[in-house]
C-alpha cells in the first residue's frame, strides 16, 4: 500500500506566491500590452526566480494561471496580430558561472541518457552579447523582405513590416546570388537603439516637454510600435541578426552549426555582432563572460549578458525544447545593479558623531557580485519619503557600486499588518534624549559619554586610513569600552598587557602584538592624526589638504575660520567645524594627552607631500552639478583630478559618476535617463577614502 505524505503549507507561503503572481502579471501587462514598463528586468527576474523556487518546493500550489506556466502575454492590438512561422522561445537565465556549469551538466546528462546523434565530448559553444533591445522575426521570400513581426507572446506577434523596412541595417533584398537558399527563410535578431541616438531622442523629448524613455530597450520597443513609419525612420534603429532558419533545405547543403549560419547571415548582407566568439569549452565561455563584464561599458549599445548556444545543430535537435526554453541555449546575465528583497527589521545605529542612522536589515540578496543584507535609510526624512516599513518588499541598489541603498518600496506586496516606522526619541544606546537641529536632517545623541560615540571614535582612530592599529578590531574595542578600560583614544596609550589580558580570548602573545601596534601608531604622520581625531567633515583627503597649509597642531589650533577657508578645496562649513573643534576645552586636553604620549602633531618634510600617488579614480569620468554642502564645485573637481579621475562638463554614456548637490538641473535628469551613478559629496569623499 502506498503511503502518501501530506505536507502542511504555511499561510504566509501561499500569500507570498499569490503576491508574486499578481505583481509579475501586472508587470507583464504593463510591458507587453501597454508598452509602459513599471519594473526593471533585473527586478522582474529576481521575483520570477523566487516564484519558481517556491512552486518547485510546493508543487501542489502550481496553478495554470501562474506566470511560470505560460510563454508570455498577448500582443497589443494597435497592429495586426499574426502567428509566427516558427515559435520564438524565451531563454533560460543563469546569473553566475556556477549556474552556467549546472546548465552544462544538465544537457550532458540528457544527451548521455539518449541515443547519441553526435558525441558531446568535444562540444563547442557560440557566445554572443545579449543586446538589450526588442526581438524581431523577419521573413524573406526569394531573398526579398516580406514580413517583420515583434516577438509578442512567442506564438503570435504584431506585424510591423512597414516600420521594419525603415531600419537601414535590415536589407530589403538579401545578397543571395552566390547562396543556395529555400524559397522562404526566417531570420531572428534584435532591434536596438545605439546609446548616442537614445540620448539625442531623450534630449528632443525633454525640449518638447515629453516624458523621457527610461532606457534604450524601452525606447526601441516604443519606436517599433509607432504608427507612423516616418517617426521610426527618424529614430535610426539598428539591428543585429542572430538566428537563421532554413526550413525544407537539403541537410547536405545546410550549414550545420550556429557559427556557420552567423557567417552566412553576414554574407547575405545582415549585421552580426562583431564580438561573437566560438568557444571550445565552458571555461572559455566563462572567460568571455568575465571579459565583457567590464568591457561592455565601452560599447555603443546596451547589453545585459551573454547568450550561450551549443554550436552543433545535431546536438540542438537532440536536446530539443522544454515548454518555454531551448535546452541547448542559456542567457548568462551579469550581476544586477538593482535587486528586490524583503525588509526583516529596521535598526538604528549610533555613530561616532552621535548621528542616529536607520538601517534596513533585509533578507540577503546578491547585488553587483556581493551579498547584501543591510542598507542605509539615511535619516527620518528619507524614511518618511520612502514610507518604508518592516515587512516591505523593496528594491535596493549599490550607489557607485559601493554603498547599498533602498531605491523604492513595492507597496503592492506590503502585508496588511505593517505600521509606519518612527525614529526613537531617546538614544537606543545610552537612553539620553536625542536632538535634531532645524538646519539638519540628522537626529543626534549629544551625550559625549555615550558608549556608542566612544566606541565609534576609537574605531575611527584605529582604522586603516587613520592610525592603522592592527589587531584593534570592533570586538576588542567593544570590550575595552564596556569594561571601562578606555573612555577616549588617549587611553589606548595607557594600556598594558595586564589590562588587555582582562579581555576575552586575549592571550599574552596577542596582547603583546597589540601593545606593539599601538606604539607603532605613534609614528603615523600629522595628517593621519588629524583625520583620526574625527572632526566633523574632515575626511582623510581634507586632512591631507589642511596639514599641508598648517604644518603643526599649534598653527591649526590658532587659525581663524577665514585662514582655514582660504585653503584651496576647503569650504566654509569645513573651516567652521575645524575651528569650533579646537575651541572645546575637552578637545584641547585630548591633544595635550596625545602629545605627551608621543603622537606626531608636526608635519615632517611638508614640501614633499604634494605628489599624490593614489590614483584610485583613474579611468573614471565625473561630472559635478549643483551646490555641494561643504566643497566648492571647482574644489570637488580638483580633488577628483588629484586622484586620477577625469572631469567633464556634459553627461554622456561614457560618464561614470555624477556628483550632485542642491539645485541640480538638466544634468541630473539626463544622468537618470542614462542610468549614470549619482554620488553625494559625502559619497564622493567615501569613494576617495575607501
Binding-site residue set for Zn(2+): 427, 430, 450
- Calpha distance 215→651 (Å, rounded): 15
Burial category of 415 from C-beta neighbours within 10 Å (exposed 0-12, middle 13-18, buried 19 and up)? middle
Measured from the Cβ of residue 153, the count of other Cβ atoms closer than 10 Å reads 19
Q: HSE on the CB side for 501, CA within 13 Å? A: 7
Q: What is the DSSP string of 210-275?
A: PPPPSSHHHHHHHHHT-S-HHHHHHTT-EEEEEEEE-TT--TTTS--BHHHHHHHHHHTT----TT
Question: How would you classify the pairing of strands 657-660 and 393-399?
Answer: unpaired
Q: Which residues pair with 190 in a beta bridge?
A: 135, 240
- Look up cell 595635550; give the residue: 592
Question: How would you classify the pairing of strands 277-279 and 621-625?
Answer: unpaired
Q: Is the dihedral of CA 115, 117, 122, 128 positive or negative?
A: negative
Residues annotated within a binding site? 41-45, 90-91, 128, 151, 190, 309, 333, 427, 430, 450
- Look up cell 585662514; give the residue: 563
- Calpha distance 588→445 (Å, rounded): 22
User: Among 325, 330, 333, 334, which Cα is nearest to 105's?
Assistant: 330
DSSP state of 33: I
Strands (E), 510-652: 621-625, 646-647
Please report, for residues 40, 285, 528, the alpha-carbon distance to residue 689 in angstroms, rounded to integers and kept in the order given. 32, 36, 12
Whether the CB-CB separation of 62 and 55 falls below 8 Å is answered with: yes
- Calpha distance 147→46 (Å, rounded): 35
- Calpha distance 163→136 (Å, rounded): 11
- Calpha distance 496→485 (Å, rounded): 10
DSSP state of 602: B
Max Cα–Cα distance, the chain, nearest Å: 93
Strands (E), 425-464: 434-435, 443-445
Q: Which of 74, 101, 122, 130 is catalytic?
A: 130
Whether the CB-CB separation of 124 and 311 falls below 8 Å is answered with: yes
Question: How would you classify the pairing of strands 277-279 and 303-310?
Answer: unpaired
Q: What is the DSSP string of 564-596?
A: HHTSTT--HHHHHHHHHHHH-HHHHHHHHHHHH
- Look up cell 552579447; give the residue: 129
- Look up cell 509566427; give the residue: 84
- Calpha distance 403→396 (Å, rounded): 10
Rounded to 10 degrees, the C-alpha dihedral 250/252/257/262 comes to: -60
DSSP state of 463: S
Give the 3-state secondary structure of residue 83.
strand
- Calpha distance 281→238 (Å, rounded): 31
555 as an active site residue: the answer is: no
User: Among 411, 297, 423, which Cα is nearest to 355's?
Assistant: 423
Whether the CB-CB separation of 157 and 75 falls below 8 Å is answered with: yes
- Calpha distance 133→301 (Å, rounded): 9
- Calpha distance 497→509 (Å, rounded): 9
Q: Which residues are catalytic?
A: 130
Amino acid at each position: 500500500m502506498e503511503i502518501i505524505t501530506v505536507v502542511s503549507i504555511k499561510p504566509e507561503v501561499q500569500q507570498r506566491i499569490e503576491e508574486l503572481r499578481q505583481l509579475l502579471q501586472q508587470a507583464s501587462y504593463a510591458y507587453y500590452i501597454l508598452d509602459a514598463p513599471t519594473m526593471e528586468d533585473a527586478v522582474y527576474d529576481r521575483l520570477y526566480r523566487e516564484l519558481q523556487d517556491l512552486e518547485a518546493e510546493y508543487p501542489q500550489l502550481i496553478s495554470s494561471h501562474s506566470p511560470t506556466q505560460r510563454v508570455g502575454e498577448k500582443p497589443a492590438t494597435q497592429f495586426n496580430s499574426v502567428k509566427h512561422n516558427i515559435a520564438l522561445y524565451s531563454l533560460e537565465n543563469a546569473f553566475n558561472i556556477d549556474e552556467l556549469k549546472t546548465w552544462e551538466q544538465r544537457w550532458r546528462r540528457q544527451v548521455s541518457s539518449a541515443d547519441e546523434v553526435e558525441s558531446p565530448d568535444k562540444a563547442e559553444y557560440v557566445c554572443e552579447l545579449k543586446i538589450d533591445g526588442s526581438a524581431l522575426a523577419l521573413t524573406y521570400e526569394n531573398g526579398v523582405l516580406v514580413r517583420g513581426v515583434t516577438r509578442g507572446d512567442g506564438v503570435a506577434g504584431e506585424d510591423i513590416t512597414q516600420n521594419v523596412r525603415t531600419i537601414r541595417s535590415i536589407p530589403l533584398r538579401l545578397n543571395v546570388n552566390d547562396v543556395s537558399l529555400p524559397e522562404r527563410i526566417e531570420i531572428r535578431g534584435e532591434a536596438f537603439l545605439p546609446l548616442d541616438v537614445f540620448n539625442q531622442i531623450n534630449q528632443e523629448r525633454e525640449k518638447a516637454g515629453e516624458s523621457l524613455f527610461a532606457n534604450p530597450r524601452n525606447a526601441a520597443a516604443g519606436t517599433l510600435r509607432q504608427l507612423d513609419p516616418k517617426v521610426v525612420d527618424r529614430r535610426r534603429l539598428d539591428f543585429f541578426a542572430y538566428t537563421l532558419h532554413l526550413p525544407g533545405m537539403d541537410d547536405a547543403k545546410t550549414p550545420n552549426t550556429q557559427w556557420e549560419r552567423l557567417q552566412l547571415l553576414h554574407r547575405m548582407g545582415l549585421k552580426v555582432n562583431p564580438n561573437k566568439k566560438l568557444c571550445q569549452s565552458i571555461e572559455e565561455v566563462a572567460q568571455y563572460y568575465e571579459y565583457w563584464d567590464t568591457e561592455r561599458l565601452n560599447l555603443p549599445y546596451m547589453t545585459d549578458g551573454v547568450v550561450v548556444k551549443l554550436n552543433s545543430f545535431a546536438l540542438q535537435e537532440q536536446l530539443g525544447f522544454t515548454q518555454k526554453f531551448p535546452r541547448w541555449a542559456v542567457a548568462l546575465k551579469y550581476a544586477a545593479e538593482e535587486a528586490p528583497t524583503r525588509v526583516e527589521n529596521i535598526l538604528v545605529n549610533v555613530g561616532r558623531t552621535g548621528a542616529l542612522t536607520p538601517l534596513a536589515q533585509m533578507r540577503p540578496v546578491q547585488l553587483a557580485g556581493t551579498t547584501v543584507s543591510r542598507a542605509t535609510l539615511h535619516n527620518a526624512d528619507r524614511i518618511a519619503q520612502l514610507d518604508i516599513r518592516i515587512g516591505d518588499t523593496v528594491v535596493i541598489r549599490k550607489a557607485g557600486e559601493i554603498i547599498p541603498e533602498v531605491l523604492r518600496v513595492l507597496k503592492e506586496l506590503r502585508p496588511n499588518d505593517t505600521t509606519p516606522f518612527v525614529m526613537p526619541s531617546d538614544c537606543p544606546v545610552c537612553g539620553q534624549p536625542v536632538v535634531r537641529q532645524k538646519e539638519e536632517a540628522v537626529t543626534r545623541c549629544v551625550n559625549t559619554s555615550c558608549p556608542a560615540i566612544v566606541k565609534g571614535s576609537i574605531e575611527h582612530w584605529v582604522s586603516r586610513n587613520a592610525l592603522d592599529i592592527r589587531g584593534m578590531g570592533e570586538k576588542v574595542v567593544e570590550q575595552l569600552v564596556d569594561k571601562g578600560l578606555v573612555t577616549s583614544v588617549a587611553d589606548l596609550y595607557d594600556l598594558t598587557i595586564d589590562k588587555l589580558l582582562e579581555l576575552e580570548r586575549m592571550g599574552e602573545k596577542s596582547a603583546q602584538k597589540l601593545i606593539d601596534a599601538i606604539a607603532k601608531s605613534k609614528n603615523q604622520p600629522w595628517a593621519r592624526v588629524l583625520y583620526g581625531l574625527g572632526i566633523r567633515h574632515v575626511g582623510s583627503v581634507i586632512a591631507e589638504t589642511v596639514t599641508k597649509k598648517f604644518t603643526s597642531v599649534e598653527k591649526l589650533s590658532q587659525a581663524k575660520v577665514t585662514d582655514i577657508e582660504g585653503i584651496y578645496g576647503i569650504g566654509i562649513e569645513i573651516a567652521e567645524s575645524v575651528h569650533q573643534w579646537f575651541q572645546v576645552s575637552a578637545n584641547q586636553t585630548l591633544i595635550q594627552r596625545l602629545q605627551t604620549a608621543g603622537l606626531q602633531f608636526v608635519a615632517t618634510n611638508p614640501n614633499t607631500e604634494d605628489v599624490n600617488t593614489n590614483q584610485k579614480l583613474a579611468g573614471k569620468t565625473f561630472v559635478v552639478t549643483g551646490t555641494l554642502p561643504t566643497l566648492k564645485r571647482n574644489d570637488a573637481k580638483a580633488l577628483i583630478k588629484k586622484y586620477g579621475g577625469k572631469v567633464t562638463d556634459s553627461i554622456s554614456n561614457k560618464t561614470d559618476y555624477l556628483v550632485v548637490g542642491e539645485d541640480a538641473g538638466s544634468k541630473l535628469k539626463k544622468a537618470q535617463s542614462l542610468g549614470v551613478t549619482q554620488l553625494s559629496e559625502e559619497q564622493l569623499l567615501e569613494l576617495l577614502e575607501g
